């Protein structure tokens, strides 16, 4: 089994990665939550028929009294209404401050269940069992939990670290191709910003069939990178911003298509290449770098271009949380494996000729 520890002071936790690990989740949880009696397992309607029984049996065998809450699948579930439903379930179960919540699912379930854990009784323990590639390499590590509000995504949230993250790469066998690729966009991002050898490993094993046999190692590398970044900057003020490579522009593209045409990973894929194009125009990013990244993205059927209007791009980018005053902070690459925070004047973006901007 591969494992790594996120050594946050007083709140350190382990990330465990192994094929078939779902069967031992109870034992692993018991090792860290010695006094916990009750556990609410939160999952969604797609994941429940696949993995809920296995996880419930394992938790019960380890002495947890479990209840489960199966929610509709999809981003709409990350809402106040569903949060209220979880509070009702938790109070009906009679949870106390030593009990716990287990999130079994993708980032939607992890973010929602994590926010419930952060807030019920002013915070109880929380175990992440991520089942999408995106959740295994990104959302389950780092302690950001949130729900969406009618005014926007992730607007109510907290920093609440899990007590344990249990990753079973076998869960990915049932993941639809499009979701797998969305996770790969984040994996490729880690290679671009922090680890040239990871990028080269992906390029040499491009496509889902080739990468699947080594996906456990890749998940481990990505979690190590994220854990390292989170450790340096838990509350997202400096180093953690590098993780936003492709995201500022990706968010603009998501907003532009009203979250319909492209999922998050697809928007980030195109966003990374758009950031490169801006970087090249500013003379910051060497020419030719985009071609390498684009070829890898294409091998996972990720989009390499999203056409949007300049006005939509600029207003969405200006609305982004990472923009301050008239300046826009972008993450740009100086080479594969090395990213920088670069401040660009809002007006400058108006003048750069950009191939993906029309109108
Ligand atoms: N907290 C963070 O740091 C962070 C980081 C990145 C993203 N996020 C959040 O994560 C969410 C996106 O997460 P996601 O991409 O995992 O989406 P998701 O949770 O909606 O899962 C995608 C789909 O896959 C299904 N699914 C999950 N596991 C499966 C499996 N093993 N087999 C078959 N189907 C399965 C789900 O039911 C869903 O339909 C967004 O809300 C985003 O804001 C949070
Ligand atoms: Zn992302």
343 vs 207: CA distance, rounded Å: 34
CA 107 to ligand 1 centroid distance, Å: 4
CA angle 102, 107, 111 (to 5 degrees): 60
Contact 25, 170 (CB under 8 A): no
The pLDDT tens digits of the residues spanning 74-103 come to: 999 999 999 999 999 999 999 999 999 999
How do residues 187-197 score in pLDDT, each as one tens digit?
999 999 999 99
CA of 264 to the centre of ligand 2 (A): 7
Choosing from 52, 77, 105, 208 the residue with most ligand 1 atoms within 8 A of its CB, the one to mutate for a pocket test is 105
> Are the C-beta atoms of residues 171 and 264 closer than 8 Å to each other?
no
CB–CB of 100/25 below 8 Å? no
Backbone angles phi and psi of 230, in degrees to 5: -65, -40
Ligand nearest to the CA of 111: 1
Kindly report, residue by residue over 224-239, the tens digit of the pLDDT: 999 999 888 778 777 8
Closest residue by Cα to residue 317 from 252, 254, 267, 223: 252
Q: In whole angstroms, give the CA distance from residue 303 to residue 297.
A: 7
Q: Dig out the tokens for 307 from the structure.
A: 């056409």
Other beta carbons within 10 Å of 64: 21
Question: Looking at the predicted structure, is the pLDDT value of residue 322 above 60?
Answer: no
Kindly give the distance from the C-alpha atom of residue 146 to the centroid of ligand 1, in angstroms, as a whole number. 13
Between CA 114 and CA 146, with CA 252 as vertex, the angle to 5 degrees is 10
Average pLDDT over residues 167-186: 98
- Residue closest by Cα to atom 41 of ligand 1: 108
Task: With H, G, I as helix, E, B as strand and everything else as coil, classify residue 341.
Answer: strand
Query: 343 or 21: whose pLDDT is higher?
Result: 21
H or E stretch covering 84 = helix 80-93
Contact status, residue 207 vs residue 300, Cβ threshold 8 Å:
yes
Ligand nearest, relative to CA of residue 131: 1
Q: Which distant-in-sequence residues (6+ apart) come within 8 Å of 143 by Cβ?
A: 114, 159, 160, 161, 162, 230, 234
Q: Which position has the higher pLDDT, 247 or 328?
A: 247
Give one DSSP letter per residue of 133-159, joined into a string. HHIIIIITSS-EEEEEETTEEEEEEEE
- Please measure the distance between the N-terminal and C-terminal CA atoms of the chain and give it in whole angstroms: 52
The CA 140 to ligand 1 mean position distance, Å, reads 10
Q: Which atom of ligand 1 is nearest to the CA of 108?
A: 19
pLDDT confidence tier of residue 320, bands split at 50, 70 and 90 = low
Cα 91 to averaged position of ligand 2 atoms, centre (Å): 33
Ligand 1, atom 39, lies closest to the CA of 73
Q: Whose CA is nearest to atom 25 of ligand 1?
A: 46
Residue 46, SS3 per DSSP: coil
More reliable by pLDDT, 251 or 165: 165
Q: Which residues, at least 6 apart from 65, have a Cβ–Cβ distance to it below 8 Å? A: 37, 38, 39
For ligand 1, residues with CB inside 6 Å are: 44, 46-47, 50, 73-75, 78, 105-109, 111, 131-132, 134-135, 138-139, 142, 144, 154, 171, 174-175, 179, 182
- Residue 59 CA to ligand 2 centre (angstroms): 30
């Amino acid at each position: 089994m591969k494992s790594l520890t996120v050594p946050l002071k007083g709140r350190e936790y382990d990330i465990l990665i192994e094929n078939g690990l779902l069967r031992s989740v109870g034992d692993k949880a018991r090792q860290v939550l010695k006094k916990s009696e009750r556990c609410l397992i939160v999952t969604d309607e797609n994941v429940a028929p696949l993995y809920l029984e296995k996880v419930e049996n394992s938790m019960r065998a380890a002495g947890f009294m479990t209840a489960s809450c199966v929610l509709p699948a999809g981003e709409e579930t990350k809402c106040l209404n569903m949060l209220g439903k979880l509070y009702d379930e938790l109070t009906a179960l009679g949870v106390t401050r030593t009990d716990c919540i287990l999130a079994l699912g993708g980032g939607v379930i992890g973010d929602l269940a994590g926010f419930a854990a952060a807030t019920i009784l002013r915070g109880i323990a929380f175990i992440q069992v991520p089942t999408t590639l995106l959740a295994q390499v990104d959302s389950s590590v780092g302690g950001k939990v949130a729900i969406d509000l009618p005014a926007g995504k992730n607007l109510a949230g907290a920093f609440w670290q899990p007590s344990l993250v249990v990753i079973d790469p076998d869960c990915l066998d049932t993941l639809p191709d499009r979701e797998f690729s969305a996770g790969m966009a984040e994996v490729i991002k880690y290679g671009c910003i922090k680890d040239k050898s990871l990028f080269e490993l992906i390029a040499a094993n491009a496509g889902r069939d080739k990468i699947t046999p080594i996906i456990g190692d890749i998940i481990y590398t990505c979690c190590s990178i994220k854990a390292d970044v989170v450790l340096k900057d838990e509350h997202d003020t400096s180093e953690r911003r590098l993780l936003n490579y492709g995201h500022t522009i990706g968010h603009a593209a998501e907003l532009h298509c009203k979250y319909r045409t492209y999922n998050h990973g697809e928007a980030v894929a195109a966003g990374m290449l758009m950031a490169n194009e801006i970087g090249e125009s500013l003379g910051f990013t060497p020419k030719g770098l985009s071609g390498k990244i684009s070829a890898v993205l294409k091998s996972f059927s990720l989009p390499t271009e999203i056409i949007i209007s300049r006005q939509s791009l600029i207003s969405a980018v200006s609305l982004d949380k990472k923009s301050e005053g008239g300046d826009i902070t972008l993450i740009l690459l100086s080479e594969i494996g090395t990213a920088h925070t670069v401040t660009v004047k809002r007006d400058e973006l108006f003048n750069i000729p950009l191939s993906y901007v029309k109108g």
